[in-house]
Amino acid sequence: MAQTRRPRRGSRAGTRSGTPRPAPKPPAADGPLVTLDIERVAHGGVFVAHHEGRVVFVADAIPGERVVARVVDQSKDRFWRAETVEVLEASPDRRPHIWAEASVERPPERRAGGAEFGHIHTARQRTLKAEVLVDALARFGGVERDVVVEPVEAALAPGVDLDAGTGWRTRVRLHVGADGSVGPYAARSHTVIPVASVPLAVRALAELAPLADRFAGARAIDLVAPSVGDAALVVVDDDRMPRGPRPTIVERVGDRDFTLDRDGFWQVHRGAAATLTAAVHDLVDGDRFDPRAANHDLYGGVGLLAAAVGDRFGDTVRITSVEADARATEHAGANLADWVGARAVTGRVDRYLDELATSAGPADLARLADATVVLDPPRSGAGRAVVDRLAEVRPRQLVYVACDPVALARDVGLLRAHGYELEALRAFDLFPNTHHVEAVVRLRAIV
> Domain spanning 33-106: which superfamily?
Nucleic acid-binding proteins (2.40.50.140)
SS3 (DSSP) at 316: coil
The pLDDT > 90 percentage for the chain reads 85
Is residue 127 within 8 A of residue 151, CB to CB? The reply is no
In the DSSP assignment, the letter for residue 287 is T
pLDDT in tens, 172-184: 999 999 999 999 9
How does strand 438-445 pair with strand 66-73? unpaired
Give 236's Cβ-side CA count (13 Å radius). 22
Looking at the predicted structure, is the pLDDT value of residue 14 above 70?
A: no
pTM of the shown model:
0.91
Q: What is the rounded CA–CA span in Å between residue 85 and residue 69?
A: 5
Is residue 387 within 8 A of residue 414, CB to CB? The reply is yes
In the chain, which segments carry CATH 2.40.50.140? Answer: 33-106
Residues annotated as catalytic are 403
Is 299 flagged in the annotation as binding?
Answer: yes
AA identity, residue 105:
E
Compare 20 and 311 and report the one with higher pLDDT: 311
pLDDT in tens, 195-239: 999 999 999 999 999 999 999 999 999 999 999 999 999 999 875
Looking at the predicted structure, is the pLDDT value of residue 28 above 90?
A: no
In the chain, which segments carry CATH 3.40.50.150? Answer: 128-156+251-445
pLDDT of residue 78: 86
Is 400 flagged in the annotation as binding?
Answer: no
Say how many C-beta atoms besides its own lie within 10 A of residue 231's C-beta.
20
Domain with residues 128-156+251-445, CATH architecture: 3-Layer(aba) Sandwich (3.40)
Looking at the predicted structure, is the pLDDT value of residue 15 above 60?
A: no
pLDDT of residue 363: 85
pLDDT in tens, 381-416: 999 999 999 999 999 999 999 999 999 999 999 999
Instruction: Find the length of the chain.
Output: 447
SS3 (DSSP) at 48: strand
Q: What is the CA radius of gyration of the chain?
A: 22
SS3 (DSSP) at 367: helix
- Which of these, 282, 241, 289, 301, lies nearest to 14 by C-alpha position? 301
Q: What is the rounded CA–CA span in Å between residue 127 and residue 390?
A: 33
Burial status of residue 286 (CB atoms within 10 A of its CB: 0-12, 13-18, 19 or more):
exposed
Compare 227 and 17 and report the one with higher pLDDT: 227
SS3 (DSSP) at 74: coil
